[in-house]
Structure 1
Amino acid sequence: MARIDESKIGETPFQKLLGHNSEIMERWNQLDKAFEGLSSKLREQVRRTLAQGNGCDYCKAKGKPDPLEYDEKTSIAVGFAEVFLKQKGGIANSTFDVLKESFSEKEISELCAFIAFTTASQHFGAMMKLEPSTRT
């Protein structure tokens, strides 16, 4: 059970916790929708990778990364997410050199922003003790 009751605003349990502050929830959702330069499959595998290390049971319940879904770019992005989980802000320049071999600067910027945003979302879920739904 989450640490606070869900509000009546929002569609998902996560949104309903943010819904106590509807403007924050709306803007959070807008930012989430802004990530469209990278494929949805790549973003989902990165999200799943981050979920394993960010402590949100709700996020982990949506599944582990699936290497069968990886193409070359997804594999590199997932690897970068794993490095982020271990190094946080101390990522070596050589790691970015690897990214630059497959991603444009615009894509690298979006990937890093997506990782930061997703980590913030997952930390919020962990702080609130957001758990997977038991409803069927």
Structure 2
Amino acid sequence: MTTISLSLNGETSFQKLLGHNKEVMKKWSELGEVLENTMSLSKDLKEHVRTALAHGNGCLYCKAKREPAKDIQDEKTIKALGFVSVFLRVGSAIPKGTFEVLKETFNEKEISELCAFVCFTTASQYFGEMMDLRP
């Protein structure tokens, strides 16, 4: 059972928890859609990042969706997951050298998008855990 009751607003359990504040739910969902769909990084890369964050952040709701892949060949995805690994260890105090590694493969727009996606996804996963959201 979730920490608070589900509201009548929203389609998913996550949205219904945010739905006690309809405007927050609406804007949160809109930002999530923008980050997931209309940017320069592939959906596949973002899904690998989301999965790695779910397992690193301990979000049971998100972890239930899939296990981290072990046979990734795409260089961008490998480097993005390396970045996630550093983030999960040190939080926002990412060493400058980590960004230098990213710059070998990503342009600045992509690095900005990756960082925004990591922060937004982490916030979503923290909220889900805080609210005891389960699969």
The two structures have a TM-score, normalised by structure 1, of 0.93
* 2:87 is the counterpart of 1:84: yes
Instruction: Give the 5 Å matches for 1:22-61.
Output: 22-35=22-35, 36-61=39-64
Alignment match, 1:111? 114
Q: Any idea what the Cα deviations from partners look like across 1:5-60, whole Å, max 9, x if unmatched?
A: 11111111111111111100110011111122211000000000000121221011
Identical amino acids, percent of aligned pairs: 58
Q: Does structure 1 residue 15 correspond to structure 2 residue 15? A: yes
Q: State the Cα RMSD in Å.
A: 1.1
Given that 1:99 and 1:108 are in contact with CA atoms closer than 8 Å, whether structure 2 keeps it comes out as: yes
**SS at the partner of 1:20?**
coil
Give the gaps of 5 or more residues in structure 1. none
What SS does the aligned partner of 1:5 have? coil
User: Any stretches of 5+ residues in structure 2 without a counterpart?
Assistant: none
Distance 1:69 1:130 in 2: 29
Give the whole-Å Cα distance in 2 for the aligned partners of 1:77 and 1:68: 15
Cα distance between partner residues in 2 of 1:70 and 1:79: 13
Flag as ranges the 4+ runs of structure 1 deviating above 2 A. 67-70
Aligned positions, number: 132
For 1:38, the aligned partner's letter is L
State the 1:90 CA deviation: 1.7
Report which stretch shifted further, 114-123 or 85-94. Answer: 85-94
Equivalence map 1:124-135=2 (5 Å): 124-132=127-135
Distance 2:33 2:71 in 1: 25
